[in-house]
Amino acid sequence: MNNQFNPAQMLQMLMNSGNPQAMMQQMFGSNPMFQRAQSMLQGKSHRAQMKILENVCKQRGMNLDQLKQMFGIQGQ
C-alpha cells in the first residue's frame, strides 16, 4: 500500500467532491494547523484569502506560483 501524499490526486478529489470544504473538514478537522488556517480564512473575501495565502508562501520562502505548481493548478 502506498501512503505517500500526492497533491495532484488530493486536489482532484477535492474538485470532484460535491463540497470540498466539508471533505477537507472531515479529513483534516482534528489537525490543529488546519483548524487555524480555516479560522484565518473564514468569512474573508477571495481577495483577502489570496493575500493571506501569499503571505504564508512568503514565510515559507516561496511564491504563489510555486505553490500552484506543487498542486498542479494552472491559471488564475
List the domain range (segments joined by +) for residue 56: 44-76
Total number of domains in the chain: 2
The answer to whether residue 59 is domain-embedded is yes
Q: Smallest Cα–Cα separation from 23: which of 33, 12, 36?
A: 12
pTM of the complete model: 0.54
What's the pLDDT tens digit per position in 22-72? Answer: 777 777 778 887 788 878 888 889 899 888 888 888 888 988 888 777 766
Q: Examine the domain organization and report whether 23 and 36 are in the same domain.
A: yes
The answer to whether residue 50 is domain-embedded is yes
Please answer whether residues 14 and 23 qualify as being in contact, where contact means their C-beta atoms are separated by less than 8 angstroms. Answer: yes
**φ, ψ dihedrals at 19, nearest 5°:** -140, 90
Q: Examine the domain organization and report whether 35 and 49 are in the same domain.
A: no
The answer to whether residue 1 is domain-embedded is no
pLDDT class for 1, splitting at 50, 70, 90?
very low
